Structure 1
Amino acid sequence: MDISAYIDYSLLKATSSERDVINLCHEAKLNNFYAVCINTAYVALAKQLLENTPVKIASVVGFPLGATSTPAKVYDANKAVEDGADEIEMVMNLGFLKSKNFVSVLKDIIDVKMAINNTPLKVIIEISELNKNEIIKACNICLDAHVDIIKTSTGFSKNGATLTATKIIKKTVKDQAKIMVSGGIEDFDTAVKYLEAGADRIGTSTNIKSPNAPLQVRNAKIYKKYLENNQKETVEIKQTIY
């Protein structure tokens, strides 16, 4: 199984440098990952690096706490899209959720979604901070807001994704929204388990490769050598003819 098309290759550390972002984009292109996920400050740079490639750019707003004001989230989301982001990830306001202020949670999401128009919106619900009923409620609010993707975790809290929570989310949303898991997914076998549990996308800062990746790289090198030799022979033939 090739999982490359399911992976969002993430770099969200505060200390991430421009060189780190350049390396991230290079690896994403090399491995045919679905997207890179970066902070808004580097969206414009990633746009240049990934021009004319199928790799998408996802950027985060209200990250990692979700406690910034709605206007701040809207501004950051708009700026990210303007700079070239293909998807926006916003963190749900968990304080509002815990306060049972569900109207404010919903408004926070809808305002961002309306601001970015047709750009896909992911909402991170941070499952490690929620009990089962709160996870279900958070998912239902996301469905009411017509969110495109529900994401389990920021990767900055106590824990990341769990198979149990993934199955709860899948049972709640069914096929009304896609599911993205992140946090602690660092190898091929673990990634496959989450996909089998209902996840549609994998967020990871680890360059996860399929078991046959070394063979694929080797074959690619052989084919490249073949093309080079073939091109060389063609040039020699033309020179002989003319």
Structure 2
Amino acid sequence: MNVAKMIDHSLLRPELTVDDIRGGCDIAARREVASVCVRPSDVPLAVAALAGTGVLVGTVAGFPHGDTTTAVKAAETRALVGAGADEIDMVLHIGRLRDGDTGYVHDDIAAVVAAAQGRVVKVILENAYLTDAQKVTGCRIAEQAGAHFVKTSTGFAPGGATLADIQLMRATVSPAVRVKAAGGVRTLDTLLTLHEAGAVRFGATATETILDDFAARLA
């Protein structure tokens, strides 16, 4: 099991400086994680810092609330792809999903998928604000709109990834769509429990702690 390649090292907090981003990219490269997930303005920096390392550069669109217009989300995505982003984690329109406006939610996601030009798109549901029925609807819409992943959380809502949510999301989408857990994944045991339930990627800030624990257990 390659735990490092399950981790998207998260560098999304608003107070992070350029030096913080460089340091986070250094961690990502040294630990050979799957990707970094940086703020949109940090994409060029991360692309330069990680060139040749095999670590992907991910970023976010419509983050963290999901309520920018579809046109803005699509334009943001096109700009980020142009800057070198490999993966886009977008927030669906949480309020429209709660309204039951499935057409709006579908078209919003589909526009970002199209703008991503084949790059991986992960759709963040922000489960803390949703009922189980809304989570199921959101997952199904994301798959219908062409997303590659469904994701639990931004990490900025009142709650993050839970075992029950991972089980529900994995049971809802087809094998073609993967599940990402984010928000509160701070220990190796949490990661392994959620992986057993079906998550294959994890947004984490405690990357080094998780990987040090894994190495110690292997030893």
TM-score interval for Structure 1 and Structure 2 normalised by the shorter chain? over 0.9
What residue is the counterpart of 1:230 in the other structure? none
Distance 2:217 2:173 in 1: 38
What residue is the counterpart of 2:146 in the other structure? 146
**SS of match in other structure, 1:203:** strand
Q: CA deviation at 1:212?
A: 5.0
Could you give the per-residue CA deviations for residues 129-178 of structure 1, whole angstroms, max 9, x where no partner exists? Answer: 11110000001101111210111000000000000010000111141300
Unaligned runs of 5+ in 2: none
Does the alignment pair 1:201 with 2:201? yes
Letter in 1 for 2:215: A
Q: CA deviation at 1:215?
A: 9.3
What residue is the counterpart of 2:186 in the other structure? 186
What residue is the counterpart of 2:132 in the other structure? 132
Letter in 1 for 2:75: Y
Distance 2:61 2:197 in 1: 27
CA RMSD of aligned residues (A): 1.5
Q: CA deviation at 1:201?
A: 0.4
**TM-score by structure 1 length?**
0.86
Aligned residue runs from structure 1 range 93-172, under 5 A: 93-172=93-172
Could you give the per-residue CA deviations for residues 101-125 of structure 1, whole angstroms, max 9, x where no partner exists? Answer: 1101001011111112111111000
Distance 1:39 1:16 in 2: 10
Letter in 1 for 2:140: N
What residue is the counterpart of 2:74 in the other structure? 74
Does the alignment pair 1:211 with 2:213? yes
**SS of match in other structure, 1:211:** helix
Distance 2:181 2:200 in 1: 8
Q: CA deviation at 1:41?
A: 0.1
Aligned residues: 217
Could you give the per-residue CA deviations for residues 2-58 of structure 1, whole angstroms, max 9, x where no partner exists? Answer: 410100000111111100100000000111100000111000000000001110011
Check conservation: 2:188, 2:214, Cα contact below 8 A: no
Could you give the per-residue CA deviations for residues 73-124 of structure 1, whole angstroms, max 9, x where no partner exists? Answer: 1111111111110001110101111111110100101111111211111100
What residue is the counterpart of 2:53 in the other structure? 53
Check conservation: 1:2, 1:210, Cα contact below 8 A: no
Between the aligned residues of both structures, percent identity stands at: 33
Distance 1:43 1:17 in 2: 13
Letter in 2 for 1:70: T
Does the alignment pair 1:17 with 2:26? no
Distance 2:216 2:185 in 1: 20
Distance 2:90 2:17 in 1: 22
Distance 1:210 1:178 in 2: 26
